[in-house]
A = this chain, B = another copy of it.
């Protein structure tokens, strides 16, 4: 099925280009060039650049929940590894690209309701997955008493999006180190009781 395969290549190229260069600085030709496809073939697979961006947001979000569902690990350790995994990807990329959801929010959502809905849906799924982990931690007593799983999950996600911004502006892992220290040493751990 060569048609299907070319669609896949265009969608994968779109995730890569949108993530590295943003929405407005990426043309349909940039994407088809990256995919090694003639620019005219684009419209056999997608109606518009916006249409492809919606697909790219979905693909990007689906690839990002590493470790959260791994029940072989204690919940807070799962959460730590989840963020450490994204951190390592960002260090490997030299502190470039950040989070595509955050980037699209900063650049596009004010002017494009369809992309805003897709981004919001992806943020909501991510929040839900983190909330489930924190609910487990609350139930097994490893979460600091008084922390509400949903509110805490949303706060962690915003702090993480901000850490990605700081790491890019400073080209440095310091924001990640600070995130892990403030979240896992200060905010989350239940006090040890004698």
Contacts and interface: CB of A to CB of B under 8 A. Distances in A.
A116 interface: yes
Contact of A168 (B109, B175, B181): B109
Interface in A88-124: 96-98, 101-103, 105-107, 109-111, 116, 119-120, 123
Contact of A158 (B96, B97, B179): B179
Contact of A116 (B103, B107, B163, B171): B171
SS class, residues of chain A in contact with chain B: helix
Contacts of A160: 162
Interface in A125-161: 146-147, 151-152, 154-155, 157-161
Interface in A71-98: 96-98
A173 interface: no
B110 A106 contact: no
Contacts of A175: 154, 158
A20 B161 CA distance: 20
A107 B181 CA distance: 28
Nearest to A103: B106
Contacts of A103: 106-107
Interface in A30-78: none
A178 B120 CA distance: 17
Given A120-B170, A155-B178, A162-B160, A186 B110 contact: no
A102 B106 contact: yes
A114 to B, nearest CB: 13
10 contacts: A22-B24, A24-B24, A25-B111, A97-B110, A105-B169, A116-B168, A119-B169, A123-B166, A147-B186, A161-B166
Which 4 A-B residue pairings sit nearest by Cβ, starting from the closest?
A: A158-B162, A106-B106, A161-B162, A162-B162
